[in-house]
Amino acid sequence: MGKPLLIAKLRLQAAKAGRWFAPPVPRAILDALHAAQIQNVRSQVPMLLAVAVLNTSIVMAVCWNNGLPFSNYAWMSGLILYCLARMTVWKRLLQKPIPLQKVPVIIKANVGLSVAMMGFLGVAASATYVAGTFAYETLIPVSLAFGATAIAHCLYTLRPAAIGVLVVGITPVALSMIFAGEFNAKMLGVSMLSVEVLMIRFVAAQYDRLIEGLFLEQQIRELADTDPLTSLPNRRAIMASMEAELACGTRKKPSFGIALLDLDGFKQVNDSLGHQAGDLMLLGVGGRLADAAEKQDSVGRLGGDEFIVLFRNVKDKADLSARTTNMLAALCRPIDLDGHRLPVAASLGYALYPDDGDTIREVMHAADTALYAEKRASKSRPQAVASSQQNAA
- Block mean pLDDT (10 aa), the chain, length 393: 72 80 86 88 84 85 83 84 86 74 81 85 84 75 86 90 92 92 91 94 94 92 90 92 76 76 87 85 91 91 93 89 90 81 88 89 92 78 41 39
Q: Would you please indicate which residues are annotated as catalytic (active-site) residues? A: 305
3-state secondary structure of 191: helix
Kind and range of the H or E run holding 335: strand 335-337
Query: What pLDDT score was predicted for residue 38?
Result: 86
Report d(CA 39, CA 107) in Å as an integer.
10
Nearest to 286 by CA among 363, 340, 222, 234: 234
Query: Would you state the torsion angle of the CA atoms of residues 113, 119, 120, 126, taken in this order, to the nearest 10 degrees?
Result: 160
Query: What pLDDT score was predicted for residue 388?
Result: 37
Nearest to 254 by CA among 367, 363, 370: 363
3-state secondary structure of 8: helix
Query: What pLDDT score was predicted for residue 349?
Result: 93
Q: Phi and psi dihedrals of 333, rounded to 5? A: -125, 150
Quickly count: other Cβ atoms within 10 Å of residue 293's Cβ: 18
Report d(CA 282, CA 286) in Å as an integer.
6
Query: What pLDDT score was predicted for residue 234?
Result: 93
Quickly count: other Cβ atoms within 10 Å of residue 359's Cβ: 12
Query: What pLDDT score was predicted for residue 120?
Result: 85
Query: What pLDDT score was predicted for residue 380?
Result: 59
CATH of 235-378, one of 3.40.50.10070, 3.40.50.20, 3.50.50.60, 3.30.70.270: 3.30.70.270
Domain boundaries, the chain: 17-223, 235-378
